[in-house]
Structure 1
C-alpha cells in the first residue's frame, strides 16, 4: 500500500518533517473536513504522506473523469477499506477485484434490485415510516435527525433484506449491533490512518483486543441470522438473505459460503443504512437553512399527495418527486456520505498527461472536493442550490461510486430516501435551530452530529389537483441526476 507513483512528488502541506512527514497536518478524527478547511488550495492533485504511507488525493473533476474510465482504471482498496476487512472480509464493498466472491455475490444479488423486487420492498418502507411517525407524534416535537434517520434506515434494510427487525421504535436504547457496527467502521478508519506508523501491527492488535467483545458480538449476531434462517421450516425467501442461502450461480452453480454470507449481510446493513441516513440528514439540514427551497419541496408533496397528511405515495408516484430528488442530489454533491473512492490503473498509464501510474499505485477521488470544483460548478460551488444548472463534467458527481464496483443498492437508497423525505415534509412543518453550526461525525461515512429539528403536524395545502401516478416510472433504474443515464 506504499503507493510509490514512480517517484513523483505532488504538492503537499507545508512543514514536512523528516520522519513523520505530513502527519502533523492531518486530523485523524475528522480528516475529510480538515482537508477541506486547510488543504483544498494545494491543487488538482496533491499528496499527504504519513510516515511511510503516501495518500494521493484528486480534487479536480477533469482528473476524476479520467480515473472513472473503466477501460483504464479499476477500484482500489484504500487503507481504510483494508482496515475494515477484519470484520467485512470479501464482502461486496471490501472485496479486492481478483477475489471470486465479489463477482459471485454481485451476479446473485443483482435480481434483488430489479423493479419487481423494489415493488416488494416499497410497502415495507412505508410501514417502517409509519412506525417512526407514531414515535414522533407521541413525543414533544424535538427530533434528533441523525439518530432517527439511522433508526429508520436500519429497520428498513433489516426488514426488507433479511427479515430482521431491530426494535428501533420500541425503545430508546441503541441496539448493540449498531454500537458494534459503528465501532467496526471507526476501527477501519483508524487502521487506515495508523497502518503506516512504526509498530502499526502492534497498534492494530491493541485496537482489536480493546474492541474484541463488540466485534465478536457483531459476528455472532450475523451468524445467528444465517443459522436461524437455515434451521427454519422454510429456508427460502425472496429477500437478500433468501437469495444468498438458496440460489446458486446460474452459470457456474457456485454458492456463497456461510462466512461470506455474513460478510454480505454486514455490508448491506452498513451500506444500506449509514449512507441513506446521512443523505437524509444532510438534506434536512439544508432544507431548514433555505426556507425558499423548503417551501418548493413542500408544495411538490402537496401537489402529488393531495390534502391527506397521512397519504402514502404509491411505488409509481415516488419518481414524480423530481424537486425532492434535486434536493437530495445537491445535498449529496456537497456532502457525499461516502466521501471518496480509490482507483488504480489496469496497466501502466499516464494520468493527466503527466504522472506515471502502475497497477500498484492508487489515487483517492475526494468527492467533497471534486464535486465542488469551481471549474465545473462555478464560483458558488460551495452554495446549496437544487436548481443549479447542470454543468460540464457534472458526471463526476459520484456519491454512489463509479463503474462496475459502484453501489449495487443505489436505486434502493434513492427510492427509500425520496419517499421518506416526501412523507415527512407532507406531514410535518419543520423548523431548525438557527444557532446550530454544522458538525460532522466521520466514521467511514459522514453524518451531521447533534442536529435537531422541531416537528409540528401540518395540514397540506388544499385546492390543488394531485398529480397522477406514472404507471411505468423508472423508479428502479437509478437515473443519474446529472447525466440522465442509468446504471444497474
Structure 2
C-alpha cells in the first residue's frame, strides 16, 4: 500500500549543531549541496519528515542536512540510539519546533530547559497523579467520555455516514484529559465545529513548525500575528478554567488540584500561577494530541487487517464477556489489543522524534566525537523500522512483534514512542490505559470497514495524524455485544463531570470578541 506524508511538520529550525561535531565531515550528507543554501534541491516544504526519512534510507543510521548555513545531525541506528540513552552522558535537548513552542508553554514539563527548576518541581508534584490509585479514579471518566463517542458514532451509523476518525479521536482525547485532569467539559461532541482551543492549538503547532522552514521569522509577520492571537486564546481558555476551579474550591484531587494546592514534599515549594497556566496548556495539548493520533492510526490498521481486528475482538469478548462496564483491571488483561497499539506506535510514533545533547565532551558509539552541548535528532520512524532489529519485513504491521518472548529478545532502547530517560512522557500509563480501553470498547461494538480507495496520508504538526481517514461502521449483533455500549448512566463516578452545568464549559469566543 502506498503511503505518503504531507503537512508542515518535522524537522527544521536546527540551530548550530555543527559547532559541536568536530569531525562532521565523516558523517554523510545528501548530494548536490549548494553553497549557503545547503541541501535544498528537491527538498519539500510540505513533507519535511518524509523528506528526512527518504535521506535516512539512502544515507544510513547517522547523517546530516544543511539549510541556510546551518548543519544538523540525525540518528536512527540502534547502537547510536542506545548510546544516546545513557543519562550520565546525554540529556534532553529542547530544540526544533519544541523550542518554538516556548512562547506558548514556557517552562512546562515538555518545553522546559534542563536547567530550569520548575521542571523538577512540577514533575515531583504531578507524578503521583499518574500512580495506580489516581489511574483507577480516572477510569470511570474515561468510560463516560467513551460513551459520548459511541453515542455520536451510533448517530453517524444510523444516518449512513462514515465517521471522521481523526476528528472524533481528537474530541475524545481532549475531553478525557480535560475531565480527568481538570474537571472541565469542552462540549466537543455537541459542537459542529472544532472548539476554539483546538483551532488555536493546531495554529500554534503549525506556526512552530513553519518557523523551521524559513531563514528568518521576519518573513512570517502575518502568521506571527495569527500565532499571537492563538496564544491569547489558549491562555484565555486556561485562565478561565483555573478561575472556575478557584471559585468552586475542589476538583477531587485531580491534576489541577495538585498544581494549585500541593507543595513539593521536600522543599515545600509550590507552582507559580504562571507555571500552573503553562502546565495546564502542556497537559491539554500533549495529553490529547499524541493519543488521538495513536488511536487514529490503530483504527486505520485494524480496518485494513480484518484478521487482526477479529483476533483482538475475540480477546475483548472473552476477557470482558457480557460486562457492560469493564473495570480498571480488565483493561490490562487485553494483551493482544495492547500489542495492536504497541505495533501502531512502532510504525507511526505520533511524537516522531526527540533530541539529545551531550552533557560533556564525549564520543557517540565510540566513533563520532561530540562536544558539550552538541545535539542530534533521533528519528523514531527509522529506529522502529531498523531491519537489523525488526527484520526484513519491518514495514509490515504485525502485533505479534510485541509478544513477550520477542520483546525480551530485542536489544534495549529500540522502541521509544514516549521518549527516553528522565524527560520521557510523564503520562505514558494514562495514554496507554485510555487508548487500550477505547480500542476494546470500539472493537466490541463495531465492525470497521475501510474505504478501498483510501491511501494513508499523514499530516505533520510536531505530531503525526492520518489525513482524511474515514471509516464505515457496522453495529455488531449477538449476545456478546448486547451490553457493549457505555452510557453515562452506567458510570456514576463520572456523573459530576459528565453532567457538569453548561456554564462550566470553556468560553467559545476568542478574547475580545
> Is the aligned partner of 1:453 residue 2:475?
no
Shift of 1:25: 4.2
| Deviation readout 1:129-173 (Å, 9 max, x if unpaired) | 111111111223511111111100000000011111111111221
| Deviation readout 1:100-140 (Å, 9 max, x if unpaired) | 01001000000100100001100000000111111111223
Q: Classify 1:233/1:132 alpha carbon distance in 2 versus 1 (closer, same or farther; 3 Å).
A: closer
> Secondary structure of the equivalent of 1:17?
coil
Judge conservation of contact 1:248–1:254 (CA < 8 Å) in 2: yes
- Alpha-carbon RMSD: 1.7
> Secondary structure of the equivalent of 1:356?
strand
Partner of 2:115: 98
Partner of 1:331: 344
Which residue, 269, 279, 296 being the options, matches 2:294? 279
Partner of 1:110: 127
| Deviation readout 1:355-406 (Å, 9 max, x if unpaired) | 1112221010100001100011111111111112335225321100101000
Structure 1 CA distance for aligned equivalents of residues 166 and 252 of structure 2 = 32
Judge conservation of contact 1:6–1:357 (CA < 8 Å) in 2: yes
Shift of 1:220: 1.3
| Deviation readout 1:198-237 (Å, 9 max, x if unpaired) | xx2423555322332222111111122122222x142564
| Deviation readout 1:326-382 (Å, 9 max, x if unpaired) | 000001001100001000111110012121112221010100001100011111111
Judge conservation of contact 1:339–1:445 (CA < 8 Å) in 2: yes
Partner of 2:363: 350
Partner of 1:241: 256
Structure 1 CA distance for aligned equivalents of residues 23 and 236 of structure 2 = 45
Normalised to the residue count of structure 2, the TM-score between the two structures is: 0.86
Structure 1 CA distance for aligned equivalents of residues 460 and 380 of structure 2 = 14
Structure 2 CA distance for aligned equivalents of residues 227 and 409 of structure 1 = 25
Unaligned runs of 5+ in 2: 1-14, 482-513
> Is the aligned partner of 1:180 residue 2:200?
yes
> Secondary structure of the equivalent of 1:273?
helix
Q: How does 1:13-412 map to 2 (within 5 A)?
A: 13-139=30-156, 140-194=160-214, 197=215, 200-203=216-219, 206-230=222-246, 232-235=247-250, 237-307=252-322, 311-388=324-401, 389-390=406-407, 391-393=409-411, 395-412=413-430
Select the structure with the greater relative contact order (CA < 8 A; seq sep ≥ 6). 2
> Secondary structure of the equivalent of 2:399?
coil
Structure 2 CA distance for aligned equivalents of residues 96 and 136 of structure 1 = 42
Runs of 4+ in 1 over 6 A off after TM superposition: none
Aligned length: 456
Partner of 1:480: none
Judge conservation of contact 1:105–1:256 (CA < 8 Å) in 2: yes
> Secondary structure of the equivalent of 1:19?
coil
Structure 2 CA distance for aligned equivalents of residues 121 and 145 of structure 1 = 23
Shift of 1:27: 2.2
Normalised to the residue count of structure 1, the TM-score between the two structures is: 0.90
> Secondary structure of the equivalent of 2:258?
helix
